[in-house]
Amino acid sequence: MSEPKVWLITGTSTGLGRALAEAVVASGDRVVATARDVDSVKDLADKAAGQVHAARLDVTDSASIAAAVESAISAYGQIDVLVNNAGHGLIGAAEELSDEQTRSVLETNVFGVLAVTRAVLPHMRERRRGHIVQMSSVGGVVANPGHAIYNTSKFALEGMSEALAGEVAPLGIRVSIIEPGPFRTDFLGRSMAFAEPIADYQDTAAGIVRQNFARNDGNQPNDPVKAAAAIVRLVNTPDGPLRLPLGPEAVGRIREKLTKQLADLQEWEAVSLDTRF
């Protein structure tokens, strides 16, 4: 029987992070459950004594990150799987976004992920093994008008993670990018911020996204428990793919985009190739 893995998961207070922590415990592995408010994850540790270690982690605070990683190593001696799950959204057309709102999303969804990853990598490099799971989104592949800065953050995460995968593969470390569609979490509620609207965008695609997201909060069609099970399965599959879309909406929208992108590439290939001196 293989030794239980140790997972460090950011943002486990609610949503996919919480569902994943519970799935990992059910699989027999151990979890370092982290959140900005450590009290919000202590119930996980209480319900699974010995399998869950609760730690405070704010991905925008370097001291907090270092302390959480040190706490994980002290508790279990290793980190086998890092899941960068913490993040939030921001609804608004690009023109509607304030600098402060824009930077807040990027600090959490991009710079925070990079900071946590860099803090854990020395430990994984030393052991020549590990797995980094990046929680992206269908919005990391297909952009929605009205969700521009969130898409910016997830597109950046995808590029960073794809490059990272090539950098660490020779060191025995895997990278996986998860691309969920709409799952029934509080992402559209507590985890979503809204820009101050401009009237001209009210009836455009950007305005419609604002209305749709508010209407769909709590009514998303996909089950976080099934997403968590899929992620656990991927981590336990040695030859799993770099990217894993989750949910019919994600698969459909990504396939539609890639099909159109390939068709455009073929249609304009002669123009694209005619660039030599």
For residue 219, the number of C-alpha atoms closer than 13 Å in the C-beta half-sphere is 6
Residue 201 among the catalytic residues: no
Q: Are 59 and 65 in contact (CB under 8 A)?
A: yes
Please report where in the chains the tokens 């592949």 appear, as a residue: 141
Q: Are 12 and 34 in contact (CB under 8 A)?
A: yes
Q: Are 109 and 148 in contact (CB under 8 A)?
A: no
Catalytic pick among 13, 64, 71, 136: 136
Catalytic pick among 5, 154, 176, 201: 154
Residue 76 among the catalytic residues: no
Residue-wise DSSP of 11-58? --SSHHHHHHHHHHHHTT-EEEEEESSGGGTHHHHHHSTTTEEEEE--
Cβ-based neighbours of 126, under 8 Å, separated by 6 or more: none
Residue 150 among the catalytic residues: yes
Catalytic pick among 5, 76, 150, 161: 150
Q: Which of 223, 237, 128 is nearest to 180 (CA)?
A: 223
Q: Are 125 and 78 in contact (CB under 8 A)?
A: no
Q: Are 88 and 13 in contact (CB under 8 A)?
A: no
Element housing 260 (H / E): helix 248-267
Enumerate the active-site residues: 136, 150, 154
